[in-house]
Amino acid sequence: MARRPSVTWLRTQGQRTHRQRYWLALGLLAAQLAANAQTYQFDSKHCIPEFEFTHLGLTHQSGRFDNIEGQVTLDRAAHQGSVLFDIDAASLNMGFGTETPDSAGFRMLRVREFTHIRFQSQQLFFNDQDQVIAATGQLTLLGVSRPLTVWVHNFRCARHPLTRTEVCAGAIQATVIRSDFGLLDFIPAISDAIQVNVPVEAFRLAPGTTDADPARP
């Protein structure tokens, strides 16, 4: 005669089945969200990061980085997304052309040792019109990673008038306190607070591709 299962065994099996269904549903939801997300590649020609600082408390000076790469994923309906924005530190330009290894900027950023400056985010914020308004993530500078919030203004997505490819654009602003990353040179002659401004244009990638059309203007 077969032994009847105990109430405890039945309850345990029921809980196990419930957990399996829960994780299966969660996995299906995550897969659906991933399927709805679109990937966009930053246009390196039109995403030049510029930064401003005060010099001797007298003037505002600026510089930029000429080479960047990265991608953003967006699911505007679900208000989710991610960002990877990578800056080539050796592309530093203080208005006199690309800096050289002997320049003060190269020495401050220790470019030979830390070749990239990177911002990564897994948390984007949207308004009621499904527009990105901010992102929180990690900025890595001189090998040090610290939390950073960037603000996004004038976000919009549209068809590019020339390529007809969907493009998302906006203006990013952030304030970086460089001493938080161990970048202490010349403070306070060169301000600790650095204002960062990045115009952004990112082209939607076609499914199965890893690079947008390089021939766009």
Instruction: Measure the CA–CA gap between 11 and 17, rounded to whole angstroms.
Output: 10
Cβ contacts of 25 within 8 Å, gap of 6 or more: none
| pLDDT tens column, 192-203 | 999 999 999 999
| pLDDT tens column, 43-100 | 999 999 999 999 999 999 999 999 999 999 999 999 999 999 999 999 999 887 767 7
DSSP letters spanning 104-126: HHHHHHTTTT--EEEEEEEEEEE
Question: Above 50 in pLDDT, residue 30?
Answer: no
Determine the pLDDT at residue 8: 55
Determine the pLDDT at residue 19: 58
Determine the pLDDT at residue 32: 46
Residue 85's nearest CA partner among 112, 111, 106, 67 is: 67
What's the whole-number mean pLDDT along residues 150-154?
A: 97
C-alpha count within 13 angstroms, C-beta hemisphere, residue 173: 9
Instruction: Measure the CA–CA gap between 136 and 143, rounded to whole angstroms.
Output: 19
> Three-state DSSP class for 198?
strand
| CATH 2.40.128.110 is right for the domain spanning 38-204 | yes
| pLDDT tens column, 165-190 | 899 999 999 999 999 999 999 999 99
Model-level pTM? Answer: 0.79
Whether the Cβ atoms of residue 216 and residue 160 lie closer than 8 Å to each other: yes
